[in-house]
Amino acid sequence: MQDILFLLLLVVVGIIAGFLNVMAGGGSAISLPLLIFLGLDSPLANGTNRLAIFIQTIASILSFKQEKFFEFKTSLKLAAFALPGAVAGAVLAVKISSVLFQQVLGIFIFGILMTVIIPRSKKTDPGRTTEPAHGWLIYPVMLVVGFIGGFHQVGIGFLMIGALSHIMKMDLVRINMHKASVFFIYTIPALMVFAWTDNIAWKYGIALAVGNAVGGWWSAKIAVRKGERMIRIVLAVAMLIMAVKLLNSF
């Protein structure tokens, strides 16, 4: 009975996490600590969360494509530079101790909290699809994004939003569309690393993935609306609480 309740909880949390991941970012700040609190060690929780992220990206890509937002060539270029970093980050994640991982995760959540509290600039160019001057800077940045994303997925969406917004000058809808495609591509090798090292709890992962897929699908439909400010505030509070719990858990 308790196991069934855990699975239902994971589905519900997955819906929220998937919605936040696609709309802005930070959904893994909810799902990953929950998996740890349910008794999974850090590498196992990390790998299990990746399964949910992978399924979520498929659902959100299909949803964006249905809404006529699909620029695969640009997404592929961004993902190509993130891939090597993602593999290196995933290898590090399965080797690092649970205590150290939770310390790093807690500190990282605090850092992401600052980006959530500070409102992002609304000065974007909705019609832009080409790179501005110095747009090449996005590629080394994507290598770093890939490494952090391979190590853990928490808050990586915010980093991509900042990078694509400031360097590529993209509007937020296109940024979220590219996020989904890039995460799909670089999650494949990262997920393979976790699967190869037996760091995926499949039952929990599938339950979480169902929720993530539902949340990701509808989040892609809604994209960015006036409710984003409220989501940012709620997310900031949730990440603050979880960061404190993680940093006090060792």
Count of C-beta atoms within a 10 Å radius of residue 66: 12
HEC states along 9-61? HHHHHHHHHHHHHHHCCCCHHHHHHHHHHCCCCHHHHHHHHHHHHHHHHHHHH
Q: Which of 9-23, 132-146, 172-186, 206-220 has the lowest mean pLDDT?
A: 132-146
pLDDT value of residue 232: 59
Please, is 104 exposed, middle or buried when counting C-beta atoms within 10 Å of its C-beta (0-12, 13-18, 19+)? middle
User: For 125-129, what is the mean pLDDT?
Assistant: 46
pLDDT value of residue 72: 84
Does the pLDDT value for residue 227 go beyond 60?
no
Query: pLDDT-derived band of residue 210, with 50, 70 and 90 as boundaries?
Result: very high
* Domain spans of the chain, in order of start: 2-247
Q: Which of 14-18, 85-89, 127-131, 177-181 has the lowest mean pLDDT?
A: 127-131
Q: Give the Å distances, CA to CA, from 152 to 77, 138, 180.
A: 22, 20, 16
Closest CA to 162 of 134, 187, 136, 138: 138
User: For 201-226, what is the mean pLDDT?
Assistant: 87
pTM above 0.85, yes or no: no
Distance CA 113, CA 92 (A): 24
